[in-house]
Structure 1
Amino acid sequence: MGGLEVDITGKAGSFAISARFTAAPGVTALFGRSGAGKSTILKMIAGIMRPEEGRIVADGRVLFDAAAGINLPPRARGVGFVFQEDRLLPHLSVRRNLTYARWAGRRAGSRPLEEVVALLGLKPHLDRFPGTLSGGERQRVAIGRALLADPGILLMDEPLSSLDRQRRGEILPYLEAVAGETRIPVLYVSHETDEVARLADRVVAVEDGTAQVAGTPAEIIGFHRGEGDIPVSIVEGVVVDFDRRYGAASVDIGGVHIELSGVDLAEGAGLRLSVNASDVAIATTPHEGLSIRNQIPCTVEAVETAGTVADVLLRCGRQRLVARITARSASELGLAPERPVVALVKAISVASYSHAGKRHAT
């Protein structure tokens, strides 16, 4: 299965959209603040909204080309769309909702129903009706329905936004399963760093209607401020040692090591680590006699102060970390660009995911 090529401009009312990126099979996240234009870009790809200029090509097939006058209708684009709300048909059972697109389109479909049911854990619910399901269960059905429509592209517009934190935690493992086995491009819209870190292979940053900056989650999310939340650093690493006696793994994050606690990993395993800025302290020199296992040599890149808080951007080997400390501490430590420091990170505070998105408890 080929990839997706997007190069479009357009408007949603008076809001200008400009999107230029590619997406290979796997999960590409469109990441940015609410109102940045992420959902509008999905709707233009799906054919629900029309761009003014540009092209959209999926697996070599032109879906939209303004210059050539090509604008395929949504039903002809081979796109599966999972919305923020489930949009299930309340009078049909889960089984009938799952197979509705095949029935309405009068096609057999190439993906077995049993495969999708097992992937999303829906077997116990096949004879139930949407009104008897939890929000997370309904959204799993919506995802299954989209997969069973045999799409060439799967678009997911913040599918967890309508769920509370507990329900999000219940459905994320199923999304990880979908991400791990997908053979088509999946565009996943979110402003949640945790979701993107767990699911995405690649991230496209969207800001003020523009989507052009792309890279790995570590490159794009590392200094993202989100919706006023504490910054989260995403770093990539490889397990170089595992101590079974203490259940501790040593991970090379590009020239320096960080220890994780409570994981069971094989040497050579690739990991993606998530570190909250509030869990990173800063010292000007290494310290002995501390319970904090990680003392990582870094260099200050920048100090951004806002009121009583300072976010300190650190270069650690070939990766980056963000530390949130008080502005007073930053001043008294004399933190400034190029200053060598030591980042202190508790081993138990680091969340880790495999590159395929599988979470490891830490």
Structure 2
Amino acid sequence: MMLDVAIRHRLPDFELDARFQAPAGVTALFGKSGAGKTTVVSTIAGLMRPDHARISVDGTTLIDSETGVNLPPHRRGIGYVFQEARLFPHLNVRANLLYGRRLSRRSGPPPRQIIQMLGIEHLLHRRPAALSGGEKSRVAIGRAILSNPRLLVMDEPLAALDQARKDEIMPYLERLRDQIGLPILYVSHALPEVARLATTIVLIDNGRVAAAGPAGEILCDPRHAPLLGSRQMGAILTARLSAQDADGLSRLDCATGPIWVPRVAAETGRTMRLRIMAHDVMLSLTPPQGISALNVLPARIVELHEDQDGVLVQLDTGGQGLLARVTARSAAALALRPGLQVHAILKAVSVTAANIGGAG
């Protein structure tokens, strides 16, 4: 699947001029509130008409201002999940789930598969009023998928939920990404969600695409710190869960060696995504001795970027990027420079792991 987007549209505060391509997987549109993200996805779904646009999915043109093509929303094959669940209050969960399916001309996954994957089998006979916020969100996601779309658009679907409900839903979203194969355009200004879900990131700033590319590259590039948030900068490493140790730690093997983290509830052999925050990485010029940290990765400095919080050190760890945050004084004392070989030190308790199957 390839989504091609080119949109120009005058808004009250700025002019939207967004051009990007979204490959298969989860493409996250990330930016501050008011950056133009919702305008982009509303145009893709056919909910608003832009001044100029050309949008296609897998070669099917949805809108082309030059030729006059403008498919109505019901012919675009877009499943849309809003911030609010927007379930039909007079229908039970089963009827809500199947509502769009009877109108679709496309084939898709069987309802039983989606119902089981979202863990909503026990909710089928309930009305929306009897559902929690997290349950409503899962039903809304299931309804959109069962309309058999060619593309699923999710416009900040977790924004109205508290952290506990977000944590409840995230594993289901990961499961959908990894097992269904349905391309997803995911809008968010919450970086932890994006870091956990996205395979591709498109950064939107004041109506423009500031950067686009694989999630691991975008999140590990210090040049994007002003948009991502300097204190939120980190890296994503792909690793394989190779062992569950008797002392409560899990061993994950990545390109540069093993990483130990608090026990991960998954079977060995599973591919994992690790988010490692820059402020949780220490640097040493020599192999450290007599320290409590278990994870020491050999690395090479790629670049250094100074900002108001110190220095972001971009590292290469055997082909995977890593970031370290150090003070300007430490950078000077260690004489850090591009090309220098160092050792990156990670505390086991600072590494968070998110199961992503084989989609790393």
TM-score, structure 1 normalization: 0.85
The change in CA–CA distance for 1:110 and 1:207 in structure 2 (over 3 A counts) is: same
Once the 2 structures are TM-superposed, how far is the Cα of residue 336 of structure 1 from its aligned partner?
A: 4.3
Q: 1:310 touches 1:326 (CA, 8 Å); kept in 2?
A: yes
Aligned pair count?
352
The change in CA–CA distance for 1:43 and 1:353 in structure 2 (over 3 A counts) is: same
**2-structure distance, mates of 1:358, 1:57:** 24
SS at 1:342's partner residue?
Answer: strand
Amino acid at match of 2:20: F
Q: 1:271 touches 1:352 (CA, 8 Å); kept in 2?
A: yes
Once the 2 structures are TM-superposed, how far is the Cα of residue 347 of structure 1 from its aligned partner?
A: 2.7
How do residues 1-362 of structure 1 correspond to structure 2 at under 5 angstroms?
2-102=1-101, 105=103, 110-211=108-209, 213-223=211-221, 224-225=224-225, 226-227=228-229, 229-237=231-239, 242=243, 244=245, 247-253=249-255, 256-261=256-261, 262-263=263-264, 266=268, 270-300=271-301, 301-306=303-308, 309-356=310-357
SS at 1:80's partner residue?
Answer: strand
**1-structure distance, mates of 2:344, 2:106:** 57
Amino acid at match of 1:259: I
**1-structure distance, mates of 2:83, 2:348:** 35
Amino acid at match of 2:174: E
Q: Deviations over 1:263-306 (max 9, x none)?
A: 56656x64432101221112232221112122223344114231
**1-structure distance, mates of 2:108, 2:286:** 60
Q: 2:134 touches 2:165 (CA, 8 Å); kept in 1?
A: yes
The two structures, once aligned, show a CA RMSD in angstroms of: 2.9
**1-structure distance, mates of 2:313, 2:69:** 49
**2-structure distance, mates of 1:69, 1:117:** 39
Q: 2:239 touches 2:252 (CA, 8 Å); kept in 1?
A: no
Amino acid at match of 2:307: T
The change in CA–CA distance for 1:346 and 1:179 in structure 2 (over 3 A counts) is: same
**2-structure distance, mates of 1:111, 1:339:** 51
- Identical positions, percent: 42
**2-structure distance, mates of 1:358, 1:349:** 23
The change in CA–CA distance for 1:34 and 1:317 in structure 2 (over 3 A counts) is: farther
The change in CA–CA distance for 1:174 and 1:355 in structure 2 (over 3 A counts) is: closer
**2-structure distance, mates of 1:353, 1:106:** 34
**2-structure distance, mates of 1:115, 1:230:** 36
Q: 1:26 touches 1:186 (CA, 8 Å); kept in 2?
A: yes
Q: Deviations over 1:196-244 (max 9, x none)?
A: 33322322232232237332211111245435643221133456x6475
Amino acid at match of 2:236: I
Q: Which moved more, 1:140-149 or 1:348-357?
A: 348-357
Amino acid at match of 1:346: K
The change in CA–CA distance for 1:8 and 1:347 in structure 2 (over 3 A counts) is: same
Unaligned runs of 5+ in 1: none
